[in-house]
Amino acid sequence: MEKIEIDDIIKNEIINKYKYGISMRKIEKQYPYSFTFIQKLIKSYEWVEKIKINYSQKNGYNLIAICRKTGKEFNDYSNESGAITKHIILLYPNENNKSKYIRKSIEYNTGKFWYDEFFKFEYREEKKLKKCNYCDWVTEDISNLSGAYEKHLLKIHNIKPEEHIIKIFEDISYFKKLPPMDGIICAICGKKLRILNHKHLKKHNIGVYDYKLKYEENIVSDSTKTKLRNGWSKTLKNSSFKNISLSEKQIKDELSEINFITSDRKILGGLEIDLLSINDKIGIEIDGLYYHSEIIGKKEKNYHINKTNMANKAGFQLIHIFEDEIIMKKEIVINKLKHIFGINNSLKIHGRKCNVQEISSKEKSQFIEKYHIQGNSLSTHNIGAFYRDELVAVMSFSNNRNMNKTHFHTQNNYELVRFVTKSNYIINGIASKMLKYFISKYNPYIIISFADRRWTLNKDDNLYTKLGFKLITILKPDYSYVNFKISRNRRLHKFGFGKSSIKKRYPDIYDESKTEWEMMQELGYDRIWDCGKFKYELILEHN
């Protein structure tokens, strides 16, 4: 009999419908599969979820299976290699008579492995190993007490420890007997070191960034800096990823179809573009919060927008991605980039196949938080689009925000706050359908909306212009706050730090004569600037 193949998207649809209370019989009528097939699919899903709970994983630990009779340990606790089966048959020959069907039935019914009665399961702390940076050699001597790593480097790779730390500078604390060098003195304990690394500062319960912020001191001696720079220069000359960050490499890997140039300095006359596609005429900037902030990074208000304008004059579009977006919402970032570069392989459907209706605030919030790069926002009216009973798009509106309340503001003036589709769908015409639904129901006079210039490449050809909106103004760059003592990878919206908020939250620091920015600096905050926004407006005709 030919095995039935099922697409992962359809499989997830079926499972999600069952999770939301739709019966298997109703699901069967919606798909060209038998009831038995759907039943097996859902049972298989339920079993996997039970197994994940009964044999959960813990960070830093390995789960092992231990034979109750012999005490023999198996790292392959899920029996993928079949070693546990062979062990059981040797001890209990009668178990060999049980078929795979019987064993699977036991697992489906109990949510445990069929051999659970013969084994107990324990967590063991993962062994820490030191791996050679040049080959697969490893040692358990993570403190290098035996000097085994030094011997390995000299014997196998003919590299001295002094040469090694130029290439791999984080290993400097690993070698105990290096030639004397000038040092840096710790401002806390007075100890002289080549580098004030995490290991030393951890003794003082402080991180590297907090130390630099608090004491404004160097953490690397001058001679060490020179050696490190020389090493980096040699490494970069021979590297296929010149000075490329982890975030850049992740994007480059995810968008492997695009031929990116890394660290291009030709287009902007010396200024660097992290990733550049000559064919698409699009560049991508990964803006780390620490080095792109106003005080520490010395990136003033117009730095990012000026770079964008320079790229536009050179005939290129420029996307700015903040570091926290990649860390917190990597999947959304990758999907947006794939859409922009036209390599999105999501399921394509037409908006006419979707049912549009109002949804609850909770449904809207959960969907937008999951799929929109800016996350959730307050709204008064929420429109959802459903495809085969699955929520696939959300459009939210508000008429309560202060930015709407101009001198001619009425209850019929609205802001389109958010619009987003589910990541694995491309739905042609759905935005227009949802907007028309809202207009027909609420009869608005004016609808405004804002587009982030970091992601909107063409002000005259985008979703808004296709919906009939007109560009009415270009807003200047705006800022978010960052506090590297609290978190290095998080921007904070400025609305939470107005003067009234500072007065309420920080009465000891509040001073009416000072500006918000002056007080925020006293509290240890820095700013990071964006590229501004495009403001669009749709005026509806009324009879």
pLDDT at 407: 46
Assigned CATH class of 347-478+532-539: alpha beta
Helix (H, G, I), strand (E, B) or coil at 475: strand
User: Tens of pLDDT along 398-444?
Assistant: 987 544 444 445 568 999 999 999 988 999 999 999 999 999 999 99
For residues 1 and 304, give the distance between their C-alpha atoms in angstroms, rounded to a whole number: 61
pLDDT > 60? residue 129: yes
pLDDT at 170: 62
Q: For residues 387-407, give the mean pLDDT.
A: 78
pLDDT at 280: 95
User: Tens of pLDDT along 84-106?
Assistant: 999 999 999 888 888 887 887 78
319 - beta bridge partners?
284
Local confidence band at 177 (pLDDT 50, 70, 90 cut-offs): low
527 - beta bridge partners?
481
Task: Tell me the average pLDDT of the chain.
Answer: 84
User: Tens of pLDDT along 293-324?
Assistant: 999 999 999 999 999 999 999 999 999 999 99
Count of alpha carbons within 13 angstroms of residue 48, beta-carbon side: 7
pLDDT at 235: 46
CATH number at 246-340 = 3.40.960.10
Residue spans of the domains in the chain: they are: 8-125, 160-236, 246-340, 347-478+532-539
**Length of the chain as a residue count:** 543
Q: Are 89 and 102 in contact (CB under 8 A)?
A: no
Helix (H, G, I), strand (E, B) or coil at 472: strand
pLDDT > 50? residue 23: yes
Closest to 296 (Cα-Cα) out of 210, 374, 368, 358: 210
For residues 19 and 6, give the distance between their C-alpha atoms in angstroms, rounded to a whole number: 19
Higher confidence at residue 427 or residue 243? Answer: 427
pLDDT at 304: 96
DSSP 371-407: H-TT-----SEEEEEEETTEEEEEEEEES-SGGG--T
Side chain identity at 242, as an amino acid letter?
Answer: K
pLDDT > 90? residue 373: yes
Local confidence band at 241 (pLDDT 50, 70, 90 cut-offs): very low
Count of alpha carbons within 13 angstroms of residue 418, beta-carbon side: 27
pLDDT > 80? residue 210: no
Higher confidence at residue 234 or residue 345? Answer: 345
One fold for 246-340 and 347-478+532-539: no
pLDDT at 415: 96
pLDDT at 222: 67
User: Tens of pLDDT along 37-77?
Assistant: 888 888 777 777 777 778 887 777 888 899 998 888 888 88
pLDDT > 90? residue 334: yes
For residues 25 and 42, give the distance between their C-alpha atoms in angstroms, rounded to a whole number: 12
Q: For residues 338-354, give the mean pLDDT.
A: 91
pLDDT at 95: 86
Residue 106 token pair: 């036991």
pLDDT > 60? residue 2: no
CA 66, distance to chain mean position in Å, is 38
H/E stretch holding 227 = helix 222-237
pLDDT > 70? residue 242: no
Residue 156 token pair: 């196998």
Q: Are 419 and 463 in contact (CB under 8 A)?
A: yes
Residue 280 token pair: 């698409």
3-state helix, strand, coil in the chain (%, to 5): 40, 20, 40
